[in-house]
Amino acid sequence: MRKIYILLIAPAIFYGCKIGSTDIGDPVGEYKDDQKPRIVAGFPYFTKYKNPTAYIPLECYTDTGKALTGKAFANPCYVCHNGGNTPVDNAGDWENQINWLRFPSNDNPWLNAVAPEKTFEKILPDGKRWTELDIQQREIKDNRENITVSIDSWIRKNNWEEAYISKLSIGSDNPFSLGRYTLDLPPLYRWNGSGFERTGYIDSEGFIYTSETDHSDRTNTWWRAYDWKHFPGYFPTNGRIDSAMIRLPEIFRKENGQHSKDIYRINLSILECALKQIDENCDVEPLNTDILDRYGISYQILSDGIRFLKVPDRYVGDASGIAVWRLKTGGQKVGLYPVGTELAHPVYYIDPDWEIRPELGGKTGKIKEFRYMKKVVMQDISSSGEEEEGASYPVYDNGLILNDPQTWLMGGWIEDRDGSLRPQTEEEMAFCIACHGAISGTVDNTFSFWRKLPKLSGWKDTDYGYHGDVKDIKYWTDQIDNIEDINASGYLGKIAGIYNPKDYGEYQLYFTLSNGIDHFRSNREGVCRILGYDLYDKSTDRCTGSSGSVPYSDASDLLSIKSQKNILTDPSLIGYLNPDGSIKQSLFLPSKERAYGLDGRYIQVVLSQQFVYGRDLFATAFGTKDGGNSLEGEDFYRLKITGPGLEEEGLIAVFKTLLGF
């Protein structure tokens, strides 16, 4: 049974941070000598880290409204802590919405968000700030190194391509190491001297090759890009723009020892259904029906794909001996990735001129990070299906680390000071541990493949709605009455109760429960675009557009669950949908000025190399001491003792009602 630790002890037990302030000593000093993690209230507290709770993300420091107004009115926590999307992913952790501050920090350690004056904007001996962003000139000054960097020049450096050509690797060949991964994924985008372009390494079905002209089995990397409906709040307009790729082990790509793209397509389709926890009536891309017949797979031919009337119990080809489903006690089927599955996740800078080339979905040739995962162990789901949470001790090997339940090997590169890629350090990788292991908002510790867009529309790189195929209905479904949704309650956790996807879109619900487009209510432009306005005018504090303008306070009220009139009670207020119900690209992607701000702010962190204090950034310090919505200091400590106020204000009851708990 998963252990829930509630902190009921005096504040004197806490280590490291000063209570009620953002002072945690020298934030750019050396690591402490103590290499052994302490266990505080049941949680690991890594004293060798500058940020001793690096595995708890900034999002967990969100003010629900209680700190600044005295009453909670926002609950973005439910997207990560809900009923469990599969029986294996911590089905009980929805209570973390209430207990989300019961961890051993005494303050918010993500200083880049709440106190950049202590990190990348700290005052140098000469009185200048370490780095300074001049958004008008679109440049950053590094006053320590006495250099000035142009944002445009920076994001036009094709560092992914350079890393691929150089065959960068993480891990090592030591017999006691975690292994080695050499970057074998060529870049999908580049700056060609006059604009960004998609490279020829990827074909129209998402397959990625080592040649831009020869797309054959000989050059196939067997990586395949997929498009997915992005997790609520994790949008480019909030600073996160990415691609996602998957590769199955070689045995899944072959039949009788020979590579076969048709066999591989079928196995990927079977896995897609399994991860979505659909065991019958599952719609996938067009497949070779001769092979389906040969393996006795029951199917129906659709105009744009295949419907598995019954999803096979085993894969096909040389992987036919591998079971698709894991069985819990009692016979319940659970779909998980097979051991050896690889996932890749490049994170890009945003193209400020994406509207000139919308087909690229805002991608550039410059990446901030390249993240990699490989499934190394199959979970034991024979008992309750809940994962045990305890003190996870990271094992680090030159950019590689294990996730919390130690089922996935995770690795990554991040930018060095000159913009080239380098392996992430142990503490930088610790940032990834818990989100890919200890929350219920995932499937098999992952966020994206189970949200893949349906059929062939999902086998391409993410373009954030350019093709009009992202809908604000529950997850990946084409139409809510489609037979694909017969088993919705099975693969959407407990989300199918009173909350009816016919009535509410997934994002529609998130925007209202969160009172914004991000977890921190920091993106005013995004709020305006939810309601159909183009821009946020800071000088007048109004949303503006071709249809007129409205005070921002009024716009915010229309996204409040506590308002009588909001986008749930009056869907006619929604302005982010096209006439066909698809989501506008402008909801996901920022305005030109906002894109420059997001890119420039991140470059400041790169120049200072202060990643251990956070990669989620705001235009200015956004802690509660500065009027923002990221808890810190006395506000953090007070809410840590009293709780976030969601129960008192009825927001947990709203969550349970809308989501059918």
pLDDT at 262: 99
Percent of the chain with pLDDT over 70: 83
What is the average per-residue pLDDT within 649-661? 71
* 74 has a pLDDT exceeding 90: yes
Beta strands in 151-204 (DSSP E): 169-171, 180-182, 189-191, 196-198
Measured in whole angstroms, the distance separating CA 498 from the mean position of its chain's CA atoms is 27
pLDDT in tens, 9-30: 223 322 233 333 333 344 443 3
pLDDT score of 48: 75
Per residue in 327-359, pLDDT (tens digit) is 877 778 889 999 999 999 999 999 999 999 999
Phi-psi region of 407 (alpha: psi -120 to 50; beta: other; left: phi over 0): alpha
Look-up: residue for tokens 């997850």?
Answer: 475
Beta strands in 398-531 (DSSP E): 400-402, 408-415, 421-423
The secondary structure of the chain in percent helix, strand, coil, rounded to multiples of 5, reads 25, 20, 55
pLDDT band at 471 (very low <50, low <70, confident <90, very high): confident
- pLDDT at residue 43 in the model: 58
DSSP conformation class of 455: G
Mean pLDDT of 208-224: 98
As a whole number of Å, the end-to-end CA separation of the chain is 20
Q: Is the pLDDT of residue 71 over 60?
A: yes
Q: What is the pLDDT of residues 575-607, one digit of tens each?
A: 999 998 899 999 999 999 999 999 999 999 999
Percentage of the residues of the chain whose pLDDT score is greater than 90: 63
Residue 423: pLDDT band by 50, 70, 90 thresholds? very high
Mean pLDDT of 430-459: 86
Structural domain boundaries of the chain?
11-108+623-659, 505-581
**Would you say the C-alpha torsion 390, 391, 396, 400 has a positive or negative sign?**
positive
Average pLDDT over residues 75-95: 69
For residue 240, what is the DSSP state?
-
* Residue among 632, 602, 433 nearest 24 (CA): 632
Query: Which segment of 165-179, 298-312, 485-499 scores lowest on mean pLDDT?
Result: 485-499
Mean pLDDT, residues 483-499 taken together: 33
pLDDT at position 83 is 66
Q: Which of 321, 324, 232 is nearest to 282 (CA)?
A: 324
Residue 455: predicted pLDDT? 93
Side chain identity at residue 65, one-letter code: G
pLDDT band at 117 (very low <50, low <70, confident <90, very high): very high
224 forms beta bridges with 207, 246
Q: Is 489 exposed, middle or buried (0-12, 13-18, 19+ CB in 10 A)?
A: middle
What are the distances in angstroms from CA 522 to CA 425, 557, 592, 617?
A: 29, 15, 17, 10
Rounded mean pLDDT of the chain? 85
Taking phi over 0 as left and psi of -120 to 50 as alpha, with beta for the rest, 475 belongs to left
Non-local (6+) Cβ contacts of 298 within 8 A are: 308, 309, 310
Cβ count within 10 A of residue 347: 18
Residues 6+ apart with CB under 8 A from 212: 199, 200, 201
Let me know: does 568 contact 508? Beta carbons within 8 Å: yes
Q: How far is CA 248 from CA 270, 342, 365, 375, in A?
A: 12, 6, 26, 10
| Dist CA 88 CA 103 (whole Å) | 23
